[in-house]
């Protein structure tokens, strides 16, 4: 499992807020950075990978851990 460089806690937020938070944060981190988005909204499981495809970012993994569902994104550009 990849260890994230940063964690965005979006638990309790409903669609589309977790995706918006990721979209705002990604341009601020260096290329290659892995950002883990904690998001317990079931829609995030579809929305975050779709956003990665549309924006050319790498969707690394979906994880279920002690903090609940999480999604790792690597900034590619």
Annotated active-site positions, please? 15
Residue 15 CA: distances (Å) to CA of 29, 50, 60: 23, 13, 20
Q: What is the 3-state secondary structure (H, E, C) of 14-63?
A: CCCHHHHHHHHHHHHCCCCCEEEEECCCCCHHHHHHHHHHHHCCEEEEEE
């Amino acid at each position: 499992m990849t260890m994230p460089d940063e964690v965005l806690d979006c638990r309790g937020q409903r669609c589309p807020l977790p995706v918006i938070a990721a979209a705002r944060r990604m341009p601020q981190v260096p290329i290659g950075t892995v950002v883990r988005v904690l998001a317990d909204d079931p829609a995030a499981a579809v929305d975050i990978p779709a956003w990665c495809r549309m924006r050319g970012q790498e969707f690394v993994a979906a994880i279920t851990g002690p903090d609940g569902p999480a999604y790792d994104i690597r900034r590619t550009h």
